[in-house]
Amino acid sequence: MANPFQPLQGALGVLVSQAEVLPATGQAVVDMVTSDLDEIYDQKTGGQPDVEKVWETDVRALYRTVRPIHRTEKHGFRYFLDGSARTYFIGTVLEHNRATPVQVSQVGAAMVKREDDGRIRVAASRRAILLTLEKSQVSDTLWQALEGAIKGTKGYALCDSATNNRYADEQNLQEARPRGAHRANWYMRELELDLARSVQREDGGWLVMDGSLGNEFEDWDGAPLVGVAKTFRRDSLFKLGTGPRSKTLNLFGLLKDLQENQRTLVFSRNDEGKIVFWYVRIRPQRGLDYPLMGVVKVEMPNPGRQLLNSDMVDEISGWLVAERRVTPYGRDGRWHAHLYPIYIAERVVRSLFYSEDALKSGIRWPFKSA
């Protein structure tokens, strides 16, 4: 098999010829992003922690029981989207008195479609290999040479870890290597958004995206979708009712009595109602290690800002509850909140990636010519 990382060798040759390189011991080291990235992003983009707006037509009860609606009865969720990113540190480049880590990332996203008979096929996928440095720590001459070495090579991109890096910016990360890993994850996010916008969906099928939607969906004008987050912000305070009977609940207080096959009221992320959200318990608390296990947060764009019809939300939640089987128990620590088609989409993305052994053998710093 031809070396899939051969297109990067020209760029690595530029670095070796124009600067000093300190290769990583062992050729490549995995760089991880901050844990619970979805939770942090949800916290940073989800507005103020105080939630005061209920955004549905029937507000008589805090919890509503929903009936699982299987695809054989009404096939609402047909498309499922997830992404993944792996980042490797391969060395440090020194130029004059400045230094930057050099990282290579495999990034991908996949959308799968489920047919009426239950078969799942790949609707579309995207994959890219990134070479990431901190642009401010190299000369313009060197950066332009890198751009020239990679330009025009399909599926490869040169990235600056300091710019267009929403995940790192929201956390105020300053260290270069974590920023590089987060840059890859934001690139993945952009691939997901591109698939959500560009793939033509048949039959008016709804799309389920893995994770929090974020502010980039506030003015969504595409086909219907929801974001389903397995991990989410925990600092919210829900101010319910008015007058002497009003009460304030933190997230744990809101969800502690939420039973299997129940959802909460629908809330607005802010006063405008552009993105609304609610919580659904898809698995019973018994047998789980933590009260929030088995609960997912559902987010939906609401560009018209109208109150959501409660019966419609019940139906969407019923579709969601019906997705809880089969589960990847033992293969993912988030199994309790997994939707199986999302798990399949993630596996599709991972299948697009080259192995770590292939990366280590395929990426080698060239010898510097005398």
Q: How many structural domains are present in the chain?
A: 1
Residue 93: pLDDT over 80: yes
Q: Is the pLDDT of residue 4 over 70?
A: yes
* Confidence grade of residue 1 (pLDDT, cut at 50, 70, 90): low
18 within a domain of the structure (yes/no): yes
pTM of structure: 0.90
Domain that holds residue 124: 10-357
**Position 366 in a domain:** no
The candidate with the shortest Cα–Cα distance to 90, out of 135, 127, 133, 35, is: 133
Q: What is the pLDDT of residues 232-265, one digit of tens each?
A: 888 899 999 877 778 999 999 999 899 999 999 9
Classify residue 257: in a domain, yes or no. Answer: yes
The count of other CB atoms within 10 Å of the CB of residue 164 is: 12
Q: Pick the range with the lowest mean pLDDT from 166-170, 221-225, 272-276.
A: 166-170
Residue 65 lies in a domain: yes
- Based on its alpha-carbon atoms, the radius of gyration of the chain, rounded to whole angstroms, reads 23
Q: What is the mean pLDDT of residues 63-85?
A: 95
Tell me the average pLDDT of the chain: 88
Q: Would residue 315 count as lying in a domain?
A: yes
Burial class (CB in 10 A: 0-12, 13-18, 19+), 330: exposed
Residue range 106-126, pLDDT digits in tens? 999 999 999 999 999 999 999
Residue 54 carries which DSSP code? B
Residue 2: inside a domain: no
